[in-house]
Amino acid sequence: MRGIMGQARRKRILLGITGGIAAYKAAELVRLLVKQGFEVQVAMTEAATQFITPTTMQALSGQPVLLNQWQDEAGMTHIHSSRAADAIVIAPATADFIAKLAHGMADDLLSALCLARDCPLLVAPAMNKQMWSNPATQRNVQQLAADGIAVLGPACGSQACGEEGMGRMLEPAELADEIVASFQPKLLTGIKLLMTAGPTYEAIDAVRGITNRSSGKMGYAIAQAAREMGAQVTLVSGPVALTTPVGVERISVNSAQEMYDAVNRRAGDADIFIGVAAVADYRVAHPAEQKIKKSAAPMTLELVANPDILADIASLPNPPFCVGFAAESERLAEYAEQKRRAKKLPLLVGNLAQQAIGSDDNELILFDDNGNHPLPRADKLTLARLLMQHIAQRYKGAKL
Ligand code: C5P
């Protein structure tokens, strides 16, 4: 199973469900968290049981559901259960429950658990847009943030009441991502990371172009992993069909030249630069403005070399810590090491093109001055997290 990385034992999440219609989505959240390798125990307020049954939550979590203060003989459920948790997540969190948290109330099991905790608390608000924008709720949410509680969302969109606006709970997959992210070591806090991802598109005429099969998945996973570890991430992306990871600034470009310009404008400010994009080596010398008409005569396209973005950034007088990628179809170690030296990179990540392109899994080998370090085959986000941990260490080592 793909779990969160680097944990000695399974992390325990106490998932608190309060009484809102988004409670039905908590069932999917439990399923996703269990799939990620977390142990999940659910606690529900009385109002939550009006929306979804404890039986459902017990079946999905495989643990008894906590419903009231008096479940253990000593009446200490709030202390025992909060001590056992590595994090408490409230999803959905109603306006009423947020108000209780903001004021330190403890008049039911879930609020008592939160008050008695010595672990991080994450809260996913879900309510009608008017309730969300009410100054009282806004005051309370600010108080939670000031108290060090992570507020996840809400999102904007259609609401169960038929209205449209701010107050929808984040989707279970987004919440699961945020929860996993909260467990990542914050090795890159304060670091500005600039990176490229995806393919480039070199126009031939108004409708045709030269591109490649890069999906952007590896680059987007790296952007997400870096942001989870506290980095400020700017992602210069070629055309891909992927959603931008939460908290990442994305700059969309098409051609290698546009990518080059976007990177150059920001390179002076970056601490780390990672070139993950599959940049086209050549572009069409004279792209036609209109669609070229078909004719029986043979056709020749004149191609000219594109700038090498990574090599140029790495040879700046005061370059950021530069990391490159090499996708090779054969003799990976030899070509990767050659490329690393030619582009003057402290670190180059190699992978076999036929294993990597478009797929969800990958296998990486890291090449640096000390030789090579293979990372085990895994999904791209797991590999991205391991890679970013390695980069964080190497970056800090290089600064000493
Ligand atoms: O294409 P090549 O194998 O040389 O790519 C190796 C690395 O250089 C990759 O990290 C890629 O993003 C980067 N690169 C670049 N600009 C180019 C070609 C490659 O930044 N024009």
CATH of residue 163's domain is 3.40.50.1950
Is residue 220 within 8 Å of residue 176, measured between CB atoms? no
Does residue 84 fall inside a structural domain? Answer: yes
Q: How many CB atoms sit inside 10 A of residue 118's CB?
A: 7
Cis geometry, peptide bond prior to residue 239 (ω within 30 degrees of 0)? no
Q: Is 338 exposed, middle or buried (0-12, 13-18, 19+ CB in 10 A)?
A: middle
Residue 69: inside a domain, yes or no?
Answer: yes
Residue 351 CB–ligand 1 contact under 6 Å: no
In a domain, 3, yes or no: no
Residue of 212, 279, 335 to test ligand 1 pocket, by largest number of atoms within 8 Å of CB: 279
Q: How many domains does the chain have?
A: 2
**CB of residue 367 inside a 6 A radius of ligand 1:** no
296 and 253: one domain?
Answer: yes
Do residues 153 and 200 both lie within one domain?
Answer: no
Residue 187 lies in a domain: no
Closest approach atom of ligand 1 to CA 310: 20
Residues ≥6 apart with Cβ < 8 Å to 343 = 308, 310, 311, 314, 322, 324
**Are residues 216 and 95 part of one domain?**
no
59: how many CB neighbours lie within 10 A of its CB?
A: 12
* Closest residue to atom 2 of ligand 1, CA basis: 326
Answer yes or no: is the C-beta of 216 below 6 A from any ligand 1 atom.
no
The alpha carbon of 241 and the centre of ligand 1 are apart by a number of angstroms equal to 21
In the prediction, which pLDDT does 112 show?
94
Whether 6 is covered by a domain: the verdict is no
Same domain for 232 and 133 = no
Query: Cα(198)–Cα(212) distance, rounded to whole angstroms?
Result: 9
Ligand 1, residues 266, 276, 306, 308: which to mutate, most atoms within 8 A of Cβ? 308
Q: Report whether residue 279 contacts ligand 1, using a CB cutoff of 6 Å.
A: yes
What are the backbone angles phi and psi of residue 314, rounded to the nearest 5°? -65, -20
Q: Residue 239, CB half-sphere, CA atoms under 13 Å: how many?
A: 12
Q: How far is the CA of 280 from the centre of ligand 1 (A)?
A: 8
Residues 232 and 349 grouped into a single domain: yes
Which of 160, 182, 204 terminates a domain? The answer is 182
Tokens of 280: 């086209």
Residue 74 tokens read as 């000593």
- In this structure, the number of other CB atoms found within 10 A of the CB of residue 277 comes to 28
pLDDT on residue 225: 96
Atom 3 in ligand 1: which residue has the minimum CA distance? 326
Q: Is 326 touching ligand 1 by the criterion CB < 6 Å?
A: yes
Residue of the CA atom closest to atom 5 of ligand 1: 326
Residue at 296 is within a domain: yes
- Same domain as 155, residue 200: no
170 and 250 in a single domain? The answer is no
The catalytic residue positions are 161
Tell me the CA–centroid distance for residue 145 and ligand 1, in Å.
42
Strand partners, 321: 272
| 199 in the same domain as 65 | no
| 275 ligand 1 Cβ < 6 A | yes
Question: 196 with 178, same domain?
Answer: no
Q: What is the DSSP track for 140-194?
A: HHHHHHHTT-EE---EEEE-TTS-EEEEEPPPHHHHHHHHHHHTS--TTTT-EEE
Q: Is residue 47 part of a domain?
A: yes
- 5 located within any domain: no
Residue 329: predicted pLDDT:
86
- Per-residue tens of pLDDT for the chain, all 400 residues: 344 544 558 999 999 999 999 999 999 999 999 999 999 999 999 999 999 999 999 999 999 999 987 776 666 777 778 888 999 999 999 999 999 999 999 999 999 999 999 999 999 999 999 999 999 999 999 999 999 999 999 999 888 878 889 999 999 999 998 999 899 999 999 999 999 999 999 999 999 999 999 999 999 999 999 999 999 999 999 999 999 998 899 999 999 999 999 999 999 999 999 999 999 999 999 999 999 999 999 999 999 999 999 999 999 999 999 999 998 888 989 999 999 999 999 999 998 877 766 677 888 999 999 889 999 899 899 899 999 999 999 999 887 7
Mutate to test the pocket of ligand 1, among 310, 344, 351, 367 (most ligand atoms within 8 A of CB): 310
Question: Ligand 1 pocket, 306 CB below 6 A?
Answer: yes
For 221, the domain range is 192-399
Are residues 361 and 305 part of one domain?
Answer: yes
Q: What distance in angstroms lies between residue 343's CA and the mean position of ligand 1's atoms?
A: 9
Neighbours of 182 (CB within 10 A): 16
Helical (H) or strand (E) element with 275:
strand 272-275
Tell me which of 148, 182, 216 is where a domain ends: 182
122 C-beta closer than 6 A to ligand 1:
no
Per-residue model confidence (pLDDT) at position 9: 81
Q: Which atom of ligand 1 is nearest to the CA of 324?
A: 10
The region, left, alpha or beta by phi > 0 then psi within -120 to 50, assigned to residue 219 is alpha
Give the model's pLDDT for residue 2.
42
